[in-house]
Amino acid sequence: MADLTSTHERYLSTRPARAGLTTTVLYRWLSWLVPAMVVLLWEAAARAGLIAPQVLPAPSRVLATAANMAQNGELFVHLGVSLLRAAAGFAIGGIIGLALGVVVGFSPLAQAIIDRSVQMVRAIPFLAMLPLVIVWFGVGETAKIFLVALAVLFPIYINTMLGIRQIDPKLMELAKVVGMSRSATVRRIILPGAMPSILTGVRYALAHAWLALVIAETLATTKGIGFLAMDAREFLNTNVIVLTVIIYAIIGVVADTLVRLLEGHFLSWHANYANSNKGAHK
């Protein structure tokens, strides 16, 4: 009888966690419901003639175009070039932004020296930088990677700095009381506490990277998703134009999913992120 009671108590203790996990999985499925319905309505409206093919082709036509371009290899060439540019720019801008954010976050002197200049550059409209970037680097790959790196730098810098600055002072005081070393404080308190903000910066930076790449790939290039869209515009090929838009959307979803996986790894100690990550694997 005692064993039966113990088993029942364990079931009751795990039931809220199971219910929460089930709800999380359900919400994740629901998050795909609206996009799926939009695509179905779009297809139905296009087939019924409510939307002109020259304005917005049916998803089935766009998919057929993608299949043809994939079959002859053209799609993968443009996609590969764009991914390499985005990855190189993201790595450079991310490393610089993270380093500056850490330095400024820890040092008020560094903030006085660095932050004002970074904020002034951030305030410059992105398109206004294009003529100067062309003068500096020409229209080759260096200019394109520089534009992506510049777009990535600011979100990561700001969120890293704020994440470090927003650490609870009571935790810092506790570290001093227990005699924790500086390196241990950084490793066990500051970095875990700042990680949610840093990863938020990474998510914003990924979006900015693709926005910058669209602009960068209009600069005298013959390869890349941005070039593919501009070339299709010249010939009024709406199938390809819509395809490039969908590709950007898919890349954005994939990138966001990767960041969520990073959140599940680095923030496993946080209950909210841990539950979210469990739901993502169902």
**In this structure, is residue 45 part of a structural domain?**
no
**In this structure, is residue 206 part of a structural domain?**
yes
What is the number of structural domains in the chain? 1
**In this structure, is residue 49 part of a structural domain?**
no
**In this structure, is residue 37 part of a structural domain?**
no
Q: What is the CATH number of the domain that holds 123?
A: 1.10.3720.10
**Are 280 and 268 in contact, with CB atoms under 8 Å apart?**
no
Other CB atoms within 10 Å distance of the CB of residue 157:
29
**In this structure, is residue 43 part of a structural domain?**
no
Residues 175-213: pLDDT tens digits?
Answer: 788 877 777 777 788 888 888 888 889 989 998 898 888
194 is in which domain, residue-wise? Answer: 61-280
Q: Which of 12-21, 40-49, 168-177, 185-194 has the lowest mean pLDDT?
A: 12-21
**In this structure, is residue 90 part of a structural domain?**
yes
Residues 144-174: pLDDT tens digits?
Answer: 999 999 999 999 999 999 988 888 778 778 7
Could you tell me the pLDDT band of residue 18, with boundaries at 50, 70 and 90? low
Q: Taking residues 32-58, report their average pLDDT.
A: 86
DSSP state letters, 241-262: HHHHHHHHHHHHHHHHHHHHHH
**In this structure, is residue 35 part of a structural domain?**
no
Q: What is the distance of C-alpha 90 from the center of its chain?
A: 11
**In this structure, is residue 30 part of a structural domain?**
no
Pairwise CA distance, residues 167 & 198, whole Å: 13
Pairwise CA distance, residues 210 & 132, whole Å: 20
